[in-house]
Amino acid sequence: MSLSRRLAQAILSSRKSFSLPHRTLGVLSHQSLPHARSFAITPRRQASENTELEELYNKLSQTTVYKKLLASPEAIDALQSFAQAMKGLGIDLTKPPSPMQMLKLSMNKEVREAGMRMNTEFAKAGIDLSDKNVLEEVMSAMKR
């Protein structure tokens, strides 16, 4: 009788344990194995698109600020360098900074310089972040 047939019979039989012949898996030879256990199968996770993030992107891409940013690569570069400076200090860009983090940012020379450069490039691109209408437009696009 072949080893695979013997294993199958042992698993399907009602016996509590069975012995493997000495020529099988060295470590398991002559050991008693417990009765076959049932298998648990976890369903595979399907890749899903992050619709919330896509929806936010679609809303923001309709704003005038976004369109002006696209027209100015220097402003995009300044924004990226400002974000990198903040990340360098360990600031999580997915949520607003705490008051302590704001203090830490204001005291950092690299962040201040990146912020001033960003404001300069935004002004050249025609983006005024202090304008109430601009802020309202961006905030309304970010609402869920």
Q: How far is residue 40's CA from residue 51's CA, in Å, rounded to a whole number?
A: 31
Structure tokens at 3: 């080893």
Evaluate whether 85 touches 105 at the Cβ level (below 8 Å).
Answer: no
Q: Which residue has the higher pLDDT, 28 or 1?
A: 1
Per-residue tokens: 120: 């300069």
What residues does each domain of the chain span?
3-33, 51-142
Q: Which amino acid is at 61?
A: S
- For 139, the enclosing helix (H) or strand (E) is helix 132-142
20 close to 30: Cβ distance less than 8 angstroms: yes
> Which pLDDT tens digit goes with each residue over 10-67?
666 544 554 555 554 545 544 555 566 666 676 666 656 567 778 878 888 888 888 8
Residue 110 has pLDDT above 60, yes or no: yes
